[in-house]
Structure 1
């Protein structure tokens, strides 16, 4: 069956501007506005688009060869691939064998008409041959499915690892680039199948179609060449069938580049009303506000105003394409399909004795014409499919070559591993930075210096640039101007792995991985991920041990299960399965039920887990690996008691490590800081110790007094 093309963004260069009336055709489709690109002059040349596709295929063939070599290198895949191809080849030949047996049946009918006798032995051989052919066909289809399943599983396993490696190596600016995200999406088709499996299946289908057509054509010519009017009947029926396929597919063809939108307020409101009624997140407001009656009346009124114009775009556009247009093919295919019947009737009138043979020939051609012409049309149409599929193969390999925006350094760090015990010196020299796509500076001409072992606290309002300083230190981004130095060395010259190994950072927008609590903490120091005593100590230092002990599975509790449970028709009174809450909303959304894994932890508890992961990396390890500790709002979700306990532990456990905090709350840390940086609007406004800044009576002192009044 012809492959249904996936919805995809075009890779062609240039832009598509719906307002360019010289290049874009506008059509009103119900409530929708359809904009279709007018083909360029070259595309009016017959076959020009096919030439472009063939050239594209030729350009991407080296990637197909590379993929086939990769498949051959997978354990046991070569044997499965050869078996799979051999079975497909036999399956594509069997229809021709069946056609040959049908031709032999014509011979028997001809002999019966001429001699009034039947060759019983030949009839038995033909019957036996057809039975064997049909049995073999079923057996080969079973073999094909048996080979296809393990083959595709091994392909998926191999190329999933390839994609995982390609994604994992990307730095933050590169990964966030929309063009890169689009490239990654192109290498990962929806539906769980891999580009390799889809490509292999398409190649096999095309090869089978070619073998089918050649073998069928050879047998058909041989069988009908001696039959009265056989060649003429064949031409007429094949032509009618081919016109039918051309007409059907032509009706569904739309412009290669197009876009559709709607600005109709009634339609937009109707879709919004549906979301309010369907989504469980709005149910409380709907009921508490007595909104049901209002929404029903508004929905019905909007539907009446829209009438037949209301509807999904693809449904309305499909109706538009299928009706009301003149198609020359639609007028030709009807008369042409009747010509074989007329020819048969004339033959029967002229030679009544030949009716059985002519009737058998007619039935044979009719049974062959549709399948034969469909395979021909599939070969023609799959030129586009193969071009698209090979482009996806190219993307599959191109993602492994995407260059990172943050270049790796070449120098190891630190030069002396023992010096890291005394902390790391940090200096910013006239650093300026803007996030990609932003006009305003996140940091502007920022300079400061921390001596090894010092405690620095950066304070200021949200958006002042505090978090950006921490991100630049670990080179999630590089500054536009200025230098950042560790122990006097520009961080851009240091190996990224070494730099990040010597640094521990907890971001304000910390993440929890879709793994168990044990794994979440252990990832702070992957080298000791199996050391339970280290994990338990890190949990205790982070203040998480108490609530972890109350969880049903303790450290093995999943905060977010990466795989959902699935189940079908269960009683409505069932609220939990496998210890997890049943999500009945998923039944409406996806036609099946799944479980959620929300353990109901508070923001403070989640933050303690993040702190525990940081302690696993920076404090628990026997051999010091980290000399610089970075904390971005580590107490934002903690209550005052938990915040005080956290900062006490941090001061006691940090040893001689250099420590840098960002916070918008003053108090627990600022009094003990060796240096305080007060930031506002991307610049450092004031710097000094707590006492120095209070004595200066500037912005820091003003904010300090405002916060202190809350506790008086």
Structure 2
């Protein structure tokens, strides 16, 4: 028996809070319509016309087939006016059948258009979400709340937007249908229309109440849902599966996943139980109210001579169909309310604005860099952190120089590179290139001048050609240039050994994929940086995954590979660091020493200590 999770009380809303929640019924609708219009303008233009037409037909067919045909049959069989009776039967029977055929044809066409719109709308919104992720700054990706918003947004892409469109389209259709049937019913008694609408209120209140509670539960458990997805990903990913098998973590992780599942299960079942009981009560009230109508209609048929048998059949059918329309309208309104609540998550994500943007009139990016790069009192702290990652750092890199950043793990070396690439902006100080503040340049144009390999380089499960070509999309199909970059990084030989050479899929995620060793992946990433003929080359631990021979080959050609470029090297290996013309030593986010290799050793400071610690391991 699964463990019973403790019940969490659902927050009760005050009256003004409930009133503001009701405003949400149509709050997101204009935004969804704009999204749908961008996804498929023709479909959005046609659907309302077809829907309104389809909404008029049911009442018309009931009027023709029930009242007029039955009255015609009565007139015909009574012998009072056989000719008039026959004419009435055949005329209105033709009209009624034509209306039914048109009604069914429109239904099929509307359903087809909704299917096409759903596909286009899902594609359009998913594309918007991906483009939004591309535009947002790196700082957004540092906070758990961002991933909560992203998961909620992605969760609503599937069916919420099209559900709102369908609810609006079908709701309009049912409103038109209901108006037609009410026009029939009010000929019996004017107050019957109001009576019918009041009978539907309990169901609407129930649907809205429990729709809100469902949304509050779903929104509140997003962090746990992300953890559940993460645990599932760990158990199905080839990156972690080795350690999971080795340390026998599988059972433990499944147990954590199962605990979260049963917590969600009990929440959902409790809510569903309360909702079904409330819906049953509302349905019983509706049934009693409609029974009262039937009794009144029979009473009028007996006591009022103008209410014929055909009229009785028409009224009862009109009431039955109107009841169905009211029930559907109630569901559509509840659906609009609930889906609007959920879609607020999507628009909350899409409404986020990037902070690192191009100025209105950006200055041209210096090319080539003539003076150099300067850090002036730069201080930076990651979002959500209470500690500065970089504190009041100032130094200069002359154009064309090869410099190295040295320091222990977490000292702030990679952070400086991220700031230079303008993935973040410092809270204090500035970074300049040829005297121009990076914030005065277009970020995209500035990054085009950087060739970068990070220590946590990307591994794209795509072709070898694309893996290197991503370094400069303008040369994605320039195979000779891609081969030249691979030769410089040492990746050429391993790619040439692959089954389909440059068209071989790397990694095992897709069929016919070929896995590389970590060192081979790093060579591919290094080739990606070399492909871009940029004046600034940034190498963050570029040989960390290479064996000693491969590393030697890279650094033997270091001067050749970096000729004519301003180069920044981050490495823990002092055999490579000493090739730099100038070395900056970073410690706990601050610049503590700088100079050439021999000068820093002579200081007997932090650099010398790190150097001798590493050298001792080889004695």
Instruction: Bin the TM-score by the shorter chain.
Output: 0.7 to 0.9
Judge which range, 280-289 or 380-389, deviates more. 280-289
CA contact 2:450–2:535 (8 Å) conserved in 1: yes
Distance apart, 1:43 and its partner CA? 4.9
1:496 matched to 2:443: yes
Distance in 2, matches of 1:116 and 1:213, equals 35
Q: What's the Cα RMSD here? A: 4.9
Return the match for 1:204 from 169, 179, 189. Answer: 169
CA contact 1:506–1:632 (8 Å) conserved in 2: yes
Distance in 2, matches of 1:503 and 1:294, equals 44
SS at match of 1:555: helix
Alpha-carbon spacing, 1:255–1:340, altered in 2? closer, same or farther (3 Å): same
Distance in 1, matches of 2:530 and 2:81, equals 96
SS at match of 2:374: strand
Which deviations, in whole Å up to 9, do the C-alpha atoms of 1:462-515 show, x marking residues without a partner? 101111111111211222233323234433333434432332221112223454
Corresponding residue number in structure 1 for 2:51: 88
Q: How does 1:402-413 map to 2 (within 5 A)?
A: 402-405=353-356, 408=359, 410-413=362-365
Q: How does 1:535-546 map to 2 (within 5 A)?
A: 535-546=482-493
Return the match for 1:657 from 560, 565, 572. Answer: 565
Distance in 1, matches of 2:292 and 2:600, equals 100
SS at match of 2:466: helix
Distance apart, 1:153 and its partner CA? 5.4
1:711 matched to 2:610: no
CA contact 1:155–1:194 (8 Å) conserved in 2: no
Q: How does 1:301-380 map to 2 (within 5 A)?
A: 312-323=266-277, 332-333=285-286, 335-339=288-292, 360=313, 363-365=316-318, 367-378=320-331
Alpha-carbon spacing, 1:695–1:79, altered in 2? closer, same or farther (3 Å): closer
Which deviations, in whole Å up to 9, do the C-alpha atoms of 1:591-639 show, x marking residues without a partner? xxxxxx5x32221111111101001013xxxxxxx22211111111111
Alpha-carbon spacing, 1:337–1:38, altered in 2? closer, same or farther (3 Å): same
TM-score, normalised to structure 1's length? Answer: 0.70
- Where do 5+ consecutive residues of structure 1 fail to align? 1-28, 264-270, 565-578, 581-596, 619-625
Distance in 2, matches of 1:706 and 1:390, equals 57
Distance in 2, matches of 1:78 and 1:652, equals 56
Which deviations, in whole Å up to 9, do the C-alpha atoms of 1:284-328 show, x marking residues without a partner? 9999999999999x99xx99xxxx9995211123224545x8998
CA contact 2:585–2:593 (8 Å) conserved in 1: yes
Q: How does 1:82-481 map to 2 (within 5 A)?
A: 82-101=45-64, 102-108=66-72, 110-111=74-75, 119-150=85-116, 165-174=131-140, 176=142, 190-192=156-158, 195=161, 200-221=165-186, 225=187, 230-231=188-189, 238=196, 242=200, 245-246=203-204, 249=207, 252=210, 255=213, 258-259=216-217, 312-323=266-277, 332-333=285-286, 335-339=288-292, 360=313, 363-365=316-318, 367-378=320-331, 381=334, 384=337, 398=351, 402-405=353-356, 408=359, 410-414=362-366, 417=367, 419-420=368-369, 425-481=372-428
SS at match of 1:124: helix
TM-score, normalised to structure 2's length? Answer: 0.79
Which deviations, in whole Å up to 9, do the C-alpha atoms of 1:309-355 show, x marking residues without a partner? 995211123224545x8998577556445445655777899899x99
CA contact 1:433–1:441 (8 Å) conserved in 2: yes
Corresponding residue number in structure 2 for 1:7: none
SS at match of 1:673: coil
SS at match of 1:34: coil
CA contact 2:540–2:569 (8 Å) conserved in 1: yes
Return the match for 2:596 from 682, 685, 689. Answer: 689
Distance in 2, matches of 1:529 and 1:189, equals 34
Corresponding residue number in structure 2 for 1:558: 505
Q: How does 1:34-49 map to 2 (within 5 A)?
A: 34-43=8-17
SS at match of 1:467: helix
CA contact 1:209–1:379 (8 Å) conserved in 2: no
